[in-house]
Amino acid sequence: MLEIGLDSRSTAELIQLALAASEEDDDYTKERWHFVGLLQRRGNREVLDRSLALTESISIEERSLGIDILGQLGIPDRTFPDECVTRLIEMLNQEFDPLILRDICIALGHFQDPRSIEPQLKFCLHPDWEVRYGVVSGLSGRDDERAIWGLIRLSADVCPEVRDWATFGLGTLIEVDTPAIREALYQRFLLEDSQDKETAEIYDEALAGLANRKDDRILPQLIAELMSDEVGKLAIQAAEAMADDRLYPALLHLQTWCDSTYLEDALLACNPRSSQQLSS
């Protein structure tokens, strides 16, 4: 098989192959993204121009392909980022199709360009959950106050998948620590059902985010989890992140029956003697 950078097929051929990938085939996504990846890595002016042309097509499939190529054009060394972001923002102000709006927001998330934040915020209340999911993707990983505000709002979304990714974006993908972020995470910690398959991951993400910020409001619940008959690795990792000696007795109890590879690090972090040594 030819190396990606040496593929002899023309840009026009690769675009047609990506468009021809059959959605009825189980490997549709894999096949389509194979050709998208080839085009992205080629990343030259011809690929840019053809992708921009695709985004102006009346065909949803062609516009979607153009967006996907522009989203990571030139990877790993990005090419024409200004042209890509400018066009994607223009599309965000023109499009109505929910899946296209979702794709644009996801593509913008690859750039971390501050110009894209405000245009996405107006979709935080879009009626289609996939658009709101796209906004979460587009805003995540940014320290900008506007992006954080958007994620806080979306962390309380009616759709569990949107809440999950917004909570992950607030709790793990950034290190910013503010009262507003903590409160948003704490609301998810209080309101999400840790025993429900649909919401347990949201609870776990909130727990991780609060532990990373050493918010001791989670201590009673975390101790109860560590003392229970079933303990997940995230609870143990949260204990390590908290590094609070009040968790040490519960971890010692856990040690009597749990052989998790994460337990040793949590015990070391929460050991009162370790805490004293660090403070001295």
Domain boundaries, the chain: 1-79, 98-213, 218-280
Question: Using one digit for the tens of pLDDT, what is the confidence trace for 85-129?
Answer: 999 999 999 999 999 999 999 999 999 899 999 999 999 999 999
Please state, in angstroms and rounded to a whole number, the distance separating the CA atoms of residues 2 and 96.
Answer: 39
Q: Judge whether 116 and 147 are in contact, CB under 8 Å.
A: no
**4 band by pLDDT with thresholds 50, 70 and 90:** very low
Q: What mean pLDDT do residues 139-154 have?
A: 98
Cβ count within 10 A of residue 212: 17
State the pLDDT at residue 22: 58
Q: What mean pLDDT do residues 164-184 have?
A: 98
State the pLDDT at residue 276: 52
pLDDT at 163 over 90: yes
Q: What mean pLDDT do residues 64-84 have?
A: 97
State the pLDDT at residue 230: 87
Q: Judge whether 245 and 270 are in contact, CB under 8 Å.
A: yes
Q: What mean pLDDT do residues 37-49 have?
A: 97
The domain over range 98-213 is classified in CATH as 3.40.50.2300: no
**3 band by pLDDT with thresholds 50, 70 and 90:** very low
State the pLDDT at residue 280: 45
Structure tokens belonging to residue 136: 């979460």
Structure tokens belonging to residue 229: 């008959």
Q: Judge whether 73 and 38 are in contact, CB under 8 Å.
A: no
Q: What mean pLDDT do residues 23-38 have?
A: 78
Task: Name 246's Cβ contacts closer than 8 Å, sequence gap at least 6.
Answer: 219, 223, 270
Question: Using one digit for the tens of pLDDT, what is the confidence trace for 234-244?
Answer: 999 999 999 99
State the pLDDT at residue 27: 58
Identify residue 270 by its one-letter amino acid code: C
Structure tokens belonging to residue 128: 């289609």
**7 band by pLDDT with thresholds 50, 70 and 90:** confident
